[in-house]
Amino acid sequence: MKWITREDVKVDRVACPWLINRFIDPDAEFEFLSKDTDSCSAMHGTLFHVPGCELGRHGQDVSLNSILKKHVLNDPALRLLAETVRAADSRPINPHEHGKGLRWIAHRLSKLSLSDHEPLNREFILYHALYAEWKEKRTPHATK
């Protein structure tokens, strides 16, 4: 399936493909819209993190929260990961303490002039690690 978002990925637009690839659509293809794209109505695929789309920002929620809700992914570790992403990518009232570090990493990587697919390849390992950390904290007796 094709998933479509805006170009110049940083935090939420990397976290969403990680989530999609890992929990929803392992064969997902990602397409990045140019900043000059003024209409998404002719796009064939699922839009996310595009203004006005269902799987976008709503209130303080980032697109990752929207995707979790749409696909009924209630894993507490994914919820913690979403709180971290929200703190890194927006300005929530009570930000998760690790959001600042995630924002710093994502914004530094964006300065490397990478294509939009390259941050996905480089940062997925970070999201795997964060998810594993939150999974372990939510289920302390889990095996490593």
CA distance 112 to 70: 33
Which pTM does this prediction carry?
0.84
> Is 96 a domain residue?
yes
The runs of H, that is alpha helices, within the chain are 12-19, 63-70, 76-89, 99-110, 117-138
Q: Are 32 and 74 in contact (CB under 8 A)?
A: no
> Is 19 a domain residue?
yes
For 27-78, the pLDDT digits (tens) are 999 999 887 766 565 568 898 888 888 898 888 889 999 999 999 999 999 9
> Is 143 a domain residue?
no
| pLDDT of 142 strictly over 50 | no
Number of independent structural domains in the chain: 1
> Is 24 a domain residue?
yes
Percent of the chain with pLDDT over 70: 89
Query: Which range marks the domain in which residue 82 is found?
Result: 2-138
